[in-house]
Structure 1
């Protein structure tokens, strides 16, 4: 597999090598050693999630308190989505910027979203199914959201009629979240992921 860093520090795109023949195909979907070499620390596997979404459903932008945060290894096992990484870390040189990656069941690429980054996606097909490997378990008191349609972020969602959950529709803007002190701090995130306990901290938060 090939692992490519995105323009936002802490996020990587993973392109697996697929081996096919008339029977079907085989691929290595996840390699802990290669990911750890790229990221700088191993991904602690604490929880695995699966979400199924109808076309035009938008989920996010979600993030968790750091420490311990929640790193995610995301792939689309059915259908296709546009997956979004947003830098919401106060003090980051790319604060407020986002990057979009198409995840689907053809190329079968994956996305690694490091601790402190915001994450969301838009389903391009019905029954779009995402699989998440998560570094920490679900704790709603440590999880937050930024409104996915915030004009300041200006995310180019590929739908004219985004369907949001009640929670996401009521989420604060990026500016409001920053003013209220909800957003992670860039230097805190860097120190946490570079520390000796990176990827092995206590379990909190969730997608």
Structure 2
């Protein structure tokens, strides 16, 4: 059980690293923008807090695949309570202005090489749910041969899943919870829709 959990955590970490490398290969970004773009891939219901993001960025910094750069300092004027007065408002003093730099991350030469290597590395994790979503988000820099391998692997994975769900529905024992049965039916319909879409994408890639 511990080994399975460890493999799952490693897979998620590798998936997150790939996504971060992919975004930073397009342009340097700060942490807040990276999180927004990651949520666009993983969806709003996937827990992706800064407590997950920044440790991953630190690991990548230590590995030398990304580096930090500072953006132009941003002026932040301290808010002051408004007081009723007949005196004209004064301009804020210099001491009331704070300057802070925003940390931006960008790929190093090693980072570009690492991302290029990962786009050409195809494993069974690539066509599992989370892995496939991330890899498909960066399909353009992936070679045509590997794009086809990933699509075909995902297609096989879903065909197997659909067959299992179909068998479970056909052999549902009497008295099974109606909501569980409805969920299985919904899952099967979702799998069938994605299978049809994958077959279309595979046909396009083979041309």
TM-score, normalised by the number of residues in structure 1? 0.21
| TM-score, normalisation: structure 2 | 0.21
Larger strand percent: 1
